[in-house]
Every structure is written in structure tokens, then in C-alpha cells.
Amino acid sequence: MRSPGIPHPRLPLPDAEQGDDLAAFQAWLEEAIPLLPHLGLEGMAWQDDMLVWELRLAPNLNDKGTGFGGSLTAQSTLIGWSWTTLWLRAQGRQQDVVVTEASQRFLAPVRGDYRLECRPQDKYAAAGLSEQLADRGKGRITLVQRLYCDRTLCLEACGDYAVLPAR
């Protein structure tokens, strides 16, 4: 187990124009963030500009037998961090990402396995981040996360993610 204050080794960047192998990224992420293997992440995929995670409810139960808000909050924050990190990697950039602000609205109980989706808040957000990185070497992006159990929207979240200057 890693000690506090010791960063996890970075995952090498993918070859230009190849994109990440999401299974390899998930395996690295499970090593880098010790909580992740306990959150029921079954897999991830891209659907256009949206990152989608498939998750199991069983490891995220609360005392009422539905989704535990703390787990759902951690997952919504982490998928946003992952979206930003994967987007940077696709641009050939290896920079640190941190969440600076996040909010959640719980709309319905999560009663079964679920899907978590993450995409930019608007269609210009990624282009705006590209411009910020080109101009200043750092930037911010706002991402929206939505959690669905079957067709029911159970959670909406929003997070601001900062890309720190390259070290």
C-alpha cells in the first residue's frame, strides 16, 4: 500500500491518435485510487464526448438498501476527473487534474445496478479548455454527471475541474 504524500506513478501516454485502452486505464486507476476497486465499477466506455461507467449497486448500499449518497458522490467526482484526464491524454498532455467545486442533486433512490454518464456542460467547453491550455498552460472545465438506474434519472451532479500547469 502506498503511503500518504507519495504520488502514484503516471500511466504512460497512449500513442498519438490512438486514444487510451480504457481497460488498462481502469486497471491503473484502481491501483492509483485505492477506494475505486470497492465502488463496483464494471467498465467504462466513450459514447461521442460522453464517458460512461457501468456500476453495481451491491457495494454501494446504504442502510435502506438503496444507493449510498457518499459512494454516488465519490463516483460522480471521480468520473469527472477521469473524463478530464482521458481528454488531456488524448491531446498528448500529462497534467494533474483536481476537482475545485462539485454539487449533487439526488432525484430518486438508486434501487439497482446503474449507469453514470459524464460530459462537458456545453458543446464549447472542451474547445475553451484547449484555448486556456495553449494560452496559459492551465485551465478549467465544467462537467455534468448524470446517474441512471434503468431509465430513471437518480442523480445530477456538476463539477469544475482544474488542469494544473505541467510540472
- pTM for this model (two decimals): 0.95
Q: Which residues pair with 157 in a beta bridge?
A: 104, 145
Q: 79-121, pLDDT tens digit by residue?
A: 999 999 999 999 999 999 999 999 999 999 999 999 999 999 9
What lies within 8 Å, CB to CB, of 100 at 6+ separation is: 140, 160, 161, 162
| Cβ atoms within 10 Å, residue 23 | 10
Q: Which fold has domain 22-163?
A: Thiol Ester Dehydrase; Chain A (3.10.129)
Nearest-5° angle of CA 19, CA 55, CA 15? 10
pLDDT at res. 86: 96
pLDDT at res. 76: 98
Both ends of the chain: CA-CA distance in Å? 25
Q: Which residues pair with 162 in a beta bridge?
A: 98, 140
Report domain extents, the chain: 22-163
